[in-house]
Structure 1
Amino acid sequence: MARFQPELHIITSGKQSPREVIHICTLVHHLVDAIHLRECSWSSRCLYDTILALRSSGVPAEKLVINDRVDMALLTGVERIQLGSRSVGPSHIKKKFPSIKIGVSVHDAVEAEEAGMAGADSVILGNIYRTDSKPGKAGIGVGAIRKVKDRLPVVGIGGITPNNAAEVIRAGATGIAVLSGVFLSRDPQRAAEEYRLSIKGAEVL
């Protein structure tokens, strides 16, 4: 039996230029399992050009995840998308494009179950811990992962650091997702290496 390999997902910050995003991705793509392009302010042309530039720079298409933009995924040959609460429901997308892998961002076990019933292939659940990106909002804790893990694959997000990442995996998550921890790090490659090391070999209880 193949050993379980936890996944490392990184999410763009929405604060960097396409050139910066491409540069960071070329540095770290060999260390991560998924690169989520979450850039709501970019034009369609900008997003399209960036995806093509990433692919021509050696970033594998199978590691790219496009947030919300099904059209961009279809145009660029990317087969993974991530949906939010304001997105078209996964069932509508699956009906037209059954081969696309769909992740849905959720905040609790109830939303996760609803996403699974609607056709999601996986969920990103959080925030697991308190995070500066959501001031005043307490983390939901790793117990939420345990409620979801038997229904569909779950990736934890929110306040995850190299110091607590293994705890998320041990709770039953298939991986972790980080935003500022890599893309806004002074040394993205080293940060990705630290996250990768922290989840490598974590035992699921």
Structure 2
Amino acid sequence: MLYAITDSTLMPGELMLTKAQAALQGGCQWLQYRDKSTNQPLRLTQACALKSLCEQYNAKLIINDDLQLAIASQAHGLHLGQGDGSVQQARQCLGAHATIGVTCHDQLSLANTAIRDGASYVAFGRFFNSATKPDAKAAPLTLLNQARHLNVPVIAIGGITPDNSRRVIQAGASAIAVCHSLFACDNVKNRARDFCRAIST
């Protein structure tokens, strides 16, 4: 599965929807809205527009690190970094059917805690050099094999390209999360298709 993460620098203004739609047309199944700005009206407008767009393509919209925005936009779920909020609180507010994910870096113990608290999926990484978060701590591919026993989807993130995506899937990831390698591309739709082909084979 391809899990795309938006970037307001790569997708300013109207490009947010244009590039997001191209990713969905290319086969993206989950889309995370990530915008760290303080422009709350704009963030709500974009989140609501992305929610409608995702539903056209039978995809899920996940909000990054903002429970209130997830509630206001009626998104399908929420992604939390370490220290960015309580999984239990998010589950209480968003309900049993919401998709709630947690960043677990390179630690299985964080994943076990997140799952115990009600997480729907866990994310590990970075696995390769990342343009989005170059200073993020590296995680070994062997971690994905160790995480196979977890009873939730395991997402791999960090520097993943169509060329190396097969390695993380073979190592045990359920899906790959991408940002720069997808949305910095001139043809986002074709790049998404490249990712999906690599994952499926």
Unaligned runs of 5+ in 1: 1-6
- How far is the alpha carbon of 1:66 from its aligned partner? 0.6
Q: Return the alpha-carbon distance in structure 2 between the equivalents of residues 136 and 78 of structure 1.
A: 29
Unaligned runs of 5+ in 2: none
- How far is the alpha carbon of 1:130 from its aligned partner? 2.6
Q: How much is the aligned-residue C-alpha RMSD, in angstroms?
A: 2.0
State whether residues 18 and 50 of structure 1, in contact with CA within 8 Å, keep that contact through their aligned partners in structure 2: no
- How far is the alpha carbon of 1:50 from its aligned partner? 1.0
Q: Return the alpha-carbon distance in structure 1 between the equivalents of residues 37 and 54 of structure 2.
A: 22
Rate the CA distance shift 1:67–1:166 in 2: closer, same or farther, 3 A.
same
Sequence identity (%): 25
Q: Partner residue of 1:101? A: 99
- How far is the alpha carbon of 1:38 from its aligned partner? 0.7
Normalised by the size of structure 1, how large is the TM-score? 0.86
Which stretch of the first structure deviates more once superposed, 173-182 or 62-71?
62-71
- How far is the alpha carbon of 1:196 from its aligned partner? 0.9
Normalised by the size of structure 2, how large is the TM-score? 0.87
- How far is the alpha carbon of 1:146 from its aligned partner? 1.3
Q: Partner residue of 1:154? A: 154
2:19 pairs with 1:20? no
- How far is the alpha carbon of 1:137 from its aligned partner? 5.8
2:163 partner amino acid: N
Superposed counterparts of 1:1-150, under 5 Å = 7-15=1-9, 16-30=11-25, 31-56=27-52, 58-60=53-55, 62-99=59-96, 100-108=98-106, 109-135=108-134, 139-150=138-149
State whether residues 10 and 178 of structure 1, in contact with CA within 8 Å, keep that contact through their aligned partners in structure 2: yes
Q: Is the partner of 2:149 in helix, strand or coil?
A: coil
Q: Partner residue of 1:179? A: 179
State whether residues 62 and 78 of structure 1, in contact with CA within 8 Å, keep that contact through their aligned partners in structure 2: no
Q: Is the partner of 2:118 in helix, strand or coil?
A: coil
